[in-house]
Structure formats: C-alpha cells, structure tokens
Chains A and B, each alone.
Chain A
Amino acid sequence: MCLVEVGEKKPDGTVAMMPKLVPACQTPAKDNTVVVTDSQKVKEAQAATLEYLLLNHPLDCPTCDQAGECYLQDYSYRFGRAESRLKEPKIIRPDKDYIGDQITLFTDRCVMCSRCVRFTREFSGTSELQIIDRGNHAEIDIFPGQPCNNKLAGNVVDLCPVGALCSKDFLYKQRVWWLKTRDSVCPGCSTGCSIFVDENEDHVYRLRPRENHLAQGQFMCDEGRFGYKYIHAEERLTVPEWKQAPTQTNGFAGPRWMEALNHVRESFKQLAKKNGQEIVAVFSPWMTCEEAYLLASWLKKLSPKVRLTLGPIPVEGEDDRYPKNWRGEPLEPTRFTIRAEKCPNRLGVAAVLAQFQPSTEDFSSILNAARAGQLQAAYVVGGGPPGWLTSDDVRSLAQVPLLVVQDILRSELTAAAHVILPGASFNEKDGTYVNHAGLAQMIFRSTHPVAEGYNDTRIFMELAHREGLFNAKNMRQEIAQQVSALRPLSAGDLGPTGVMLPALQPAPQQPMGAKA
C-alpha cells in the first residue's frame, strides 16, 4: 500500500528517479531524497494493491466490529475502486474462535500486515502468534495449546487495522460510531496509562490506550483494559443512606441528599467544636488531588486538630515487566511495566495530606485509636474496586460512633457505616492523578455520575459550603497555590500528556542493566 516514487537529488540539481516504485515504510529518508506520492503511477499502484487486498476479503462490513474505524474501509474509500473485478469465488477460511481468552480471529478479514505477530515477538516477547502457510493461503495462527493470553494480549486487537482480531469483550456490543470518546487515565495501577474511555448512553464499553511517552508509551495491559467492570456493578451505591433515618422521607432524591449532607456537616461541626482530635478522615489512593484537597481543607477548617490519613495502599506481587523471554523472565530494556501498586494516585493524595498535616498519621494508628474508643467520628472515602479494606480494618472502624462512608460499591464497610454517601468512579469525575513517576495527568468525566448527579467533588463542596460549581481547571490553580508539591498544576490545563511534578519524582535509581 505504501509504494511511492523515490529518487535522489544530484549535486548538479538534477533528480534521478528510481525506475520502479519502492515501499515507503522500508526506505530510509536520507539527505537529498525526493519522494513523489501523488503521481498517476503511485495512485494506480495503490488502487491495484487495494484490489489485491480485497480479492478474498469478505464484504461483511455491516456485521464487522471494526467498521467505522477500519483502515481497509477508509483506504478503499479514498484510494480504491468502487467495484470488484473478481469473477471467481473468494477463498473462505474458517474463523478461529480461540486465539486467546479475550481474542477471536476472523481469518478471512486479515490483510497479513503481521503487526500482531511483531507485537508478540518484539514487545511482549511471548511470541504466541505467527503466520502459517504461504501466499494466498497465509493465515495468522497460534501453536496448538499455546493461546495468546499474555497480559498485553488485548493490544493486538487495537493494532489490527481491520476486523480480523476482535476483542471478545467488545464483540457486537456497539457500533463504533455511536461511541463518544474522552481522555482519561487508567486507575488500575500506579503506571497511570493514558487511555481513551469509549462510552455510549452512560455505559462504558471499552478502554483503549492513548499514546503518551511520558506515562506508558503506546499500549496498556489487559488488567487495566478489562478491569473497569466494577463501575457498572449492581452493587453500585446510588442514593445516600443513613441508619437513623428521619421519620419523614418523601422519596425525592434532592431532599434526601440535602438531609444527608446537612446531617454530616452539622455532626462534624459539633464534634469538631468539642475536640477535633476525635475526628479522623481516611483518604483513598483512588481519590483525585482535587477531592483530597477539598476534603482536607474542609476538615482542617473545622478544626486544625482533625486527623487525616491515607488508607492502605493495595500491592499485589511485584512489578511485571515486558518484554519477556520464553521462560517468562523479563528482558532488558524494559518497554512496559505493570506495577504492583494497584491504585492511581497515591503520590497526589499523599502530597495534599502532607501539606495540610506536616506530621503524617499512620493508618494503623488510626485503627488503634478506633479500637481504643478514642474517636467520635470517621470519614472514610473509597472509590476503587472492591476489597480495599480488610474485614479487620472494617471491624476496627465500626467501633467509631459516627462512621461516614463515601464509596461507590456496597461492601462490608458500607454495612458498618452510619451514613453512606455514594461517590463516583474514575469515569464520572474530572480531576488529576499523579502516577508513580510524579506525572500529573488530567482525567475527564465521560459518563454521568450514577448517584443522581452527585460526585465526590460536589459532595465536598456542599459540605464545605463552597460557592459555585466545581471546575477542575480553576481548582488545580487553587491547589497549585496552596500545596507546594503540586505547584506545576498552576497551568490549570495540563495538556494531553500531563505535567511532571519534580517534587514528587522518585529518587533516581541505578540504570537498569548497569553493573554494580
């Protein structure tokens, strides 16, 4: 497809063109190279190549998942011819339903670009895919019993320019032209991959990687790609609840929220007047910097003695690095890392807390205080996937006389709570996440909050009686003035790739592969 005319400009100014067309993707651009891409000869070659590619390609665009984002469709519209001259029947090859747990192959749609094969060989290093047979009969396949199930496998579906490799998760769920796309950041681990969130009618259908070389590069892992499903779980909290409900509930949502927020605001105000030391707030590493800032500033305004703490940081195993060799051992240089720290914003929340409370409070000391009966009220914010706090943690927190839980899913923690405020998941709010390397990236709201339009920032703003609506850009500018570690956020708009925060960058490690 990339055939072009290439020549060389001689020192005397004349141009000597090569007699035949050459593939542009294989030709290095050198000094004095002359390229012609719009001559009749090139156009005829493009049309002829497309005709070859379409010889055995089925005309199943109406049922193909890729339609609408298909290179073959776009190219044949722009460079191809309207009709097929083939009179013979097309070669029909059986589909391969099982390339991997998440991947299916529509064999006859393949144009043999071999991007997927190169990805598994060069990037993941796992080499599950290859081309079998020759010429017209060439096909993508796996070795028997060796499916493509590595943790980066979902990327071959994005790489496939046509509808040959399809994601079983997304297959036949949506036509791509109905999807609305917003930029975001994957909350799955502290790598903080830049992603696109594809949504229609307030339902997220897929996450796709967004190229950002400051964050992760061009790809994302399957844990993040498919790990977002909890945001649509049946256990999602949608209305505020509290144990001692007022006798009169008229069933309307607005008054319910107002009552709940008034109840929390007044209770905390009363308790803070008595002794701020007896109030704690547990922040989760899924909160955005803006949320952490709003909650911390409200509570510290009630009483400077209120104790703020960062909740437990989920860590699973060790960092998983790619590419790997056939034994599963990581190879140097590392091109992709799935981090063991399974939360998106530990650094950002910790930076906000450090500003408001110079002496950091340990989560276990808060639990001890709760068990010892030294606390009167606790405000716990969740916001991540299930299983953040252990049963022991919850039992300790349940000792507190007033436990306010703001979370997205019904859990042991909400069962122990006296007031439940439904929060928002990462796709329902605007904000900032800071990844493991100190890169601050913006996330954007792609769907409406399920909790009747309330998300975490709105809850905190109403609790603090702040005027106006939440605006992430203005809030970032305010945070930049108040929190020294987050000063680079003063731009407000961090751009598509984000902004590095020098104060939060980890200490430089010895370069990988360097000998001691």
Chain B
Amino acid sequence: MSIVTINGQDVTLEDNERLNVVQAAKKANVEIPHY
C-alpha cells in the first residue's frame, strides 16, 4: 500500500494498483487535463 499526496490530499493506492499520476489524481477527484 502506498500513499500519494495530490494537492495536499492523501490518496491510498493498493499494492496491485499500477497507476500513473493522472489516474491517481482522479481518485482524489482532481482532474489533470490530458489527451
């Protein structure tokens, strides 16, 4: 389990979750514009 901080908000990721920062931010309801 790992903890990522998005704009000061902590998001917990499971060990089997291999996310990039766009996806991790989505878990914190932060949208990063991307194509």
> Which A residues form the contact surface with B (CB < 8 A)?
1-2, 4, 6, 9, 24-38, 46, 71, 75, 78-79, 111, 113, 115, 161
Measured CB to CB, the closest approach of chain B to A157, in angstroms, equals 15
B residues in contact with A4, CB < 8 Å: 21, 25, 32
Question: For chain B residues 3-23, which have a beta carbon within 8 Å of chain A?
Answer: 3-7, 11, 13, 18-23
Interface pair A29/B13, CB less than 8 Å apart: yes
What DSSP secondary structure best describes chain A's contact surface?
Answer: mixed
* Cα distance, A34 to B23, chains bound together (Å): 14
Q: Which of A2, A9, A32, A46 gathers the greatest number of chain B CB atoms within 10 Å?
A: A2
A residues in contact with B11, CB < 8 Å: 29
Interface pair A28/B32, CB less than 8 Å apart: no
A residues in contact with B33, CB < 8 Å: 1-2, 46, 71, 75, 78-79
What DSSP secondary structure best describes chain B's contact surface?
Answer: mixed
> Which B residues form the contact surface with A (CB < 8 A)?
2-7, 11, 13, 18-25, 30, 32-35
Q: A32-B3, A33-B21, A33-B24 are in contact. List 18 more A-B contacts (CB 8 A).
A: A2-B34, A4-B25, A9-B5, A24-B20, A24-B22, A24-B32, A29-B2, A29-B21, A29-B23, A30-B4, A31-B4, A35-B6, A37-B7, A37-B30, A38-B7, A71-B33, A75-B33, A161-B35
Measured CB to CB, the closest approach of chain B to A408, in angstroms, equals 41
Measured CB to CB, the closest approach of chain A to B18, in angstroms, equals 7
* Cα distance, A33 to B11, chains bound together (Å): 10
On whether A71 and B35 interact (CB within 8 A), knowing A29-B23, A31-B2, A34-B5, the answer reads yes
Measured CB to CB, the closest approach of chain A to B17, in angstroms, equals 8
A residues in contact with B18, CB < 8 Å: 28
Name 12 A/B residue pairs within 8 A (Cβ), A-sorted.
Answer: A1-B33, A1-B35, A2-B21, A9-B5, A24-B25, A25-B34, A28-B21, A29-B20, A29-B24, A33-B4, A34-B5, A38-B7
Q: Of A1, A25, A36, A75, which is within 8 A of B20 by CB?
A: A25
Measured CB to CB, the closest approach of chain B to A49, in angstroms, equals 9
Minimum CB distance partner of A3 in chain B:
B32
Q: Which of B5, B13, B32 gathers the greatest number of chain A CB atoms within 10 Å?
A: B32
Measured CB to CB, the closest approach of chain A to B1, in angstroms, equals 8
Interface pair A35/B34, CB less than 8 Å apart: no
